Chains A and B, each alone.
Chain A
Amino acid sequence: NAGVTQTPKFRVLKTGQSMTLLCAQDMNHEYMYWYRQDPGMGLRLIHYSVGEGTTAKGEVPDGYNVSRLKKQNFLLGLESAAPSQTSVYFCASSQSNNYEQYFGPGTRLTVT
């Protein structure tokens, strides 16, 4: 039981490049989330999903897109990376509403 895993662990992009971050969970959780963590600002919710095939915007969704085609996976896409998207990205999942969120190990992304 790996819990929540994230791929890749590190990535360096040039401005304007695109990439997809993959989050996978093996706990059969319904809800999944993408956060970004910046110094002094804590974690901020980018997008979330309350079930397969559904997504919704969080606090800072601009510049990101997501998809939840399979229950166990939640993909975060950057279509045209910008230096402001340099951050550590965390994925999380929870069984459903009112349940603890379990976090992945994070992906450190640098955009130059």
Chain B
Amino acid sequence: AQRVTQPEKLLSVFKGAPVELKCNYSYSGSPELFWYVQYSRQRLQLLLRHISRESIKGFTADLNKGETSFHLKKPFAQEEDSAMYYCALRMAAGNKLTFGGGTRVLVKP
């Protein structure tokens, strides 16, 4: 069965420091990975998807099939990056998502 693991429940960094959120997955098919973000009092929204290979709000994520990982990185964290981040794996049938447990990022001034 598919599984998404985010080992860190909380990441606390200072403004301007790099931040990396870890995501590992297990899936027998061809994986499609996403990062979703939930800011305080806002709804869950898509941050980026691996297939686009783009940088959104300074964040990037590379799919490493050998290590079955999709870590999210930003070289210089900003206070507005404080939020809950979820890694998700898409299954083709039904467009269903399997989410990791989430990582709360706190960027301190």
Binding site for B on A (CB under 8 A): 4, 31, 33, 35, 40-45, 48, 50, 56, 58-59, 90, 92, 94, 96-101, 103-106
Residue of B nearest to A38 (CB): B101
User: Among residues 59 to 109 in chain B, which have CB atoms less than 8 Å away from a CB atom of chain A?
Assistant: 86, 92, 94-102
Question: With contacts A43-B86, A50-B94 known, what are 17 further pairs, Cβ within 8 A?
Answer: A40-B102, A41-B101, A42-B4, A42-B100, A44-B99, A50-B95, A59-B98, A90-B43, A92-B44, A94-B95, A98-B92, A98-B95, A99-B95, A101-B97, A103-B44, A103-B45, A105-B43
**Neighbouring B residues of A90 by C-beta, 8 Å:** 43-44
**Neighbouring B residues of A104 by C-beta, 8 Å:** 43
Q: Mark B1-32, 1 if CB is under 8 A from A, else 0.
A: 00010100100000000000000000000000
The reply on B56 being an interface residue by CB < 8 A is no
**Neighbouring B residues of A98 by C-beta, 8 Å:** 92, 95
Residue with the highest number of chain A CB atoms closer than 10 Å, among B9, B92, B95, B97: B95
Contact B86 A100 (CB under 8 A): no
Give Cα A56 to B96, complex, Å: 11
Give Cα A92 to B95, complex, Å: 11
Interchain Cβ contacts within 8 Å, total number: 54
Q: Mark B26-48, 1 if CB is under 8 A from A, else 0.
A: 00000000000000000111100
**Neighbouring B residues of A40 by C-beta, 8 Å:** 9, 101-102
Give Cα A90 to B86, complex, Å: 14
Binding site for A on B (CB under 8 A): 4, 6, 9, 43-46, 49, 86, 92, 94-102
Give Cα A33 to B95, complex, Å: 10
**Neighbouring A residues of B102 by C-beta, 8 Å:** 40, 42
**Neighbouring B residues of A106 by C-beta, 8 Å:** 43
Give Cα A50 to B95, complex, Å: 9
Residue of A nearest to B99 (CB): A42
Residue pairs across A and B with Cβ atoms less than 8 A apart, 22 shown, are A33-B96, A42-B4, A42-B100, A42-B101, A42-B102, A44-B99, A48-B96, A56-B94, A58-B96, A92-B44, A96-B95, A97-B94, A97-B95, A98-B92, A99-B95, A100-B46, A100-B49, A101-B95, A103-B43, A103-B44, A104-B43, A106-B43
